[in-house]
Structure 1
Amino acid sequence: MLFDTHVHLNARQYKDDREEVIQRAFAQGVTHMVVVGFDDETIPLAIEIAEKYDTIYAAVGWHPVDAIHYEEKHLAYLERLSKHPKVVALGEMGLDYYWDTSPKDIQEQVFRKQIQLAKRVNMPIIIHNRDATEDVIRILQEENAKEIGGIMHCFSGTAADVQACLDMNFYISLGGPVTFKNAKEVQEIAKIIPLERLLIETDCPYLAPHPYRGKRNEPAYVSFIAEKIAELKEMDVEEVGEVTFQNAMKFFRINK
């Protein structure tokens, strides 16, 4: 059994064949997934998909790329949804200095408000970080996010950053880039992440693993990520699958 901890089955790329994509994942042993909604368009669809399938869950947050469109009503919306039985985390939230769509100070305000909300409702968080690792870690530390814990989604930091995240009670999630031939740094990171803090994800439809790099990603491909991590850690792929599955169940507080 595999648990893909970060999918965007609510993306427009799946509008014509979402059901087929989900069934392909189930057929590949990907039994559990978390669909991440991060704006007005994707949040309702994440909830709708999670309600339809017993082992698919939702996370809801406000993406830093869209921080410029954030209004206070959105925080109240997220707080309401945090009580939904299929919502298992808040996010993705964080900072994105690559896509220059929202001013950094606005991104930071929206990020902090969501961390504070997560602490109020006692829910773990999923972090989006692109080219902003130092500021992301600083804000998480200043807001004492250790209280709730979280996932560093599609981790792209250094070995030192790994330790800072572990110290905050965070899990490290690896996706397609760990399979890329030129991704030596991510592969070295995979070797040092403690098994008990490791998660796997596709971030589909983005970042498809080798040998599908450049094509539309889908949850069925999470097995390629598990296989590469097993190779790097010199373990059986079944053990990587089992450990990351149990880690995800524990993190998302799924008791089934």
Structure 2
Amino acid sequence: MIFDTHAHYDDEAFDEDREELLASLQSHGIEAVTNVGASIKTSENTIKLTEKYSYIYGAIGVHPNETGELNDEKLNWLKENAGRNKIVAIGEIGLDYYWEEPDHETQKTWFVRQLNLAKEVKLPVIIHSRDAAKDTLDIMKAERSQDVGGVIHCFSYGKEMAREYLNMGFYLGIGGVLTFKNARKLKEVVEYMPLDQLVLETDCPYLAPVPNRGKRNSSLNLPYVIDEISAIKGISRDEVVEVTNRNAKKLYHL
């Protein structure tokens, strides 16, 4: 069965049919989902979802564009809640220079502090990196992030950057973008990388694959991504599902 390693089911896009949709996942071949926090509020929401659904795990952390809200007290809250038994990662954390809010120095400060938190609580990290390839990698190397491991979510760089992260033992999160016509670089990365470092993700409600591009995404769209990986790698869909499920469980120590 399929493991969706990165979703945001607490998003308001699911307010009208959340329960119905989540209840239908397993009958559609989705074994498990990791819901990922992007702020203190969404981390709180994530904890609630993990308590309600046996097949939902959680990650808590503050997205780079939300780090303006962080202070010692909130970091301490993350630390206290990281010990819950269904919280499997610190994330999503990182750098996002596409948006200039908050400034780069604020983003970097809290990226480092959340990486150190992950080391302290011994959890893997979920890394968000957009238009910030060099700074993200430099910080992760300086902080020895490979000691905790994790996943580069929605991987969007080229083969050279992929090689760096793969050599550090990180997984790459691959989702709907792989099916886009303009995703040549990402297709090259998937062709190049070992299957045992690839995990499936939706980032729903965002980034729905073709043929549903532009619509609300959900884990039910993952078969389109599986088809694309299967074609690129020249292996069966079943093998893609089996290996990525195993990878997800290794990533999150399940």
Fold match (TM-score > 0.5):
yes
Amino acid at match of 2:170: F
Q: Is 1:142 aligned to 2:129, yes or no?
A: no
5 Å-filtered alignment, 1:18-57, equals 18-57=18-57
Counterpart AA for 1:8? H
Which residue number in structure 2 is paired with residue 200 of structure 1?
Answer: 200
Aligned letter for 1:5? Answer: T
- 2:127 alignment counterpart: 127
How far off is 1:185 after superposition? Answer: 0.9
Letter in 2 for 1:171: Y
**AA aligned opposite 2:227:** E
1:94 equivalent in structure 2? 94
TM-score (norm: length of structure 1): 0.97
Contact 1:21–1:219 under 8 Å retained in 2: no
CA–CA distance in structure 1, aligned partners of residues 27 and 145 of structure 2: 37
Matched, 1:167 2:159: no
Aligned partners of 1:223 and 1:65: how far apart in 2?
Answer: 30
Query: Can you give the 5+ residue segments of structure 1 that lack an aligned partner in the other structure?
Result: none
TM score, norm. by length of structure 2: 0.98
| Corresponding letter in the other structure for 1:215 | K
1:82-125 Cα shifts (integer Å, max 9, x gaps) = 10011000000000001121100000000000101111111100
- Partner SS, residue 221 of structure 1: helix
Question: 1:13: which partner in 2?
Answer: 13
- Structure 1 residue aligned with 2:243: 243
The farther-off stretch of 66-75 and 228-237 is 66-75
How far apart, CA to CA, are the structure 2 residues paired with 1:93 and 1:126? Answer: 6
Equivalent in the alignment of 1:108: 108
The alpha-carbon deviation at position 52 of structure 1 amounts to: 1.1
Letter in 2 for 1:164: E
Q: Which residue of 2 aligns with 1:176?
A: 176
Q: Letter of the aligned partner of 1:118 in structure 2?
A: A
Unmatched tracts of structure 2, length 5 or more: none
Q: Which residue of 1 aligns with 2:72?
A: 72
Aligned to 2:118: 118
RMSD: 0.9
CA deviations on 1:33-67 (whole Å, 9 max, x unpaired) are 00001213211111111111111100000110011
Cα distance in 2 between the residues matched to 1:200 and 1:91: 16
Write out the 4+ residue segments of structure 1 that deviate beyond 6 Å after TM superposition.
none
Aligned to 1:153: 153
8 Å Cα contact 2:40/2:61 also seen in 1: no
